[in-house]
């Protein structure tokens, strides 16, 4: 998964951006979306690192060196695993991750 050019440009500005990661599960009919991560991220222009806060209202901010590391910090691995196991056991396709800017 990677950022869209629009998100890359916004993240590079230093302004905070709220990101929502969703798993798309395709079965018969319309796809279902389940949230598997949410965070706020911004680029620290002075230290040249990304600052990620993984939960709303959280006080701990992580410093990560690259945009790709931002995605890894935003994913709730337990939620993603639960969605994947549920989809596989019910015969649905393995979920794919979708990122939305909020």
**pLDDT tens figures, 25-67:** 766 667 777 777 888 889 999 999 999 987 656 668 899 998 8
CA dist 82 and 38 (Å) reads 16
Residue 14 has pLDDT above 80, yes or no: yes
CA dist 51 and 55 (Å) reads 13
pLDDT at 50: 93
pLDDT at 51: 92
pTM (two decimals): 0.70
């Amino acid at each position: 998964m990677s950022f869209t050019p629009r998100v890359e440009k916004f993240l590079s500005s230093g302004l905070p951006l709220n990101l929502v990661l969703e798993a798309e599960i395709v079965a018969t009919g319309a796809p279902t979306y389940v949230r598997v991560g949410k965070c706020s991220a911004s680029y620290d222009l002075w230290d040249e690192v990304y600052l990620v806060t993984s939960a709303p209202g959280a006080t701990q901010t992580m410093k990560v060196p690259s945009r790709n590391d931002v995605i890894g910090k935003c994913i709730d691995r337990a939620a993603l695993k639960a969605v994947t196991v549920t989809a596989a056991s019910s015969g649905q396709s393995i979920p794919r991750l979708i990122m939305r800017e909020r």
